[in-house]
Amino acid sequence: MSYDALTISAVTIIAVFIIVIIMVGKSKAATEMRLRILARNLVMMQSNEEAMEICRKIHEKYPELCAGIDFTLKEEGNGIEVDEWNSDKPRPDL
């Protein structure tokens, strides 16, 4: 069984289209997750003075870092601490 050039082109275009749709969907999901993490950290800083103080200390040392993107905070039973450190800069001792 042989296929003509038009059929091969159509199948290739459809395959590329499906791959692009999948990649866009994954990118959108990742962006939504990052926005949720950012929002959670911003709400925590607005309602918790300890979280705000930790962010101030980090910002004094690294003014270009952003809470929720470069680092995340989490609430432990005894207070707030840095959960994830996503920056290539050394993690400060707080």
In the prediction, which pLDDT does 3 show? Answer: 79
| Whole-angstrom distance, CA of residue 49 vs CA of residue 53 | 6
In the prediction, which pLDDT does 76 show? Answer: 83
Our measurement of the distance from residue 94's CA atom to the centroid of its chain's CA atoms, rounded to an integer in Å, reads: 23
> What are the residue ranges spanned by the domains of the chain?
5-85
Question: Percent of the chain at pLDDT above 70?
Answer: 99
Q: Are 80 and 73 in contact (CB under 8 A)?
A: yes
* Positions in the chain whose pLDDT score sits under 70: 1
The neighbour count for residue 69, using CB atoms within 10 Å, is 13
Q: Give pLDDT tens digits for 41-50.
A: 888 888 889 9
The neighbour count for residue 37, using CB atoms within 10 Å, is 16
pTM: 0.64
The backbone torsions φ and ψ at residue 45, rounded to the nearest 5 degrees and listed phi first, read -70, -35
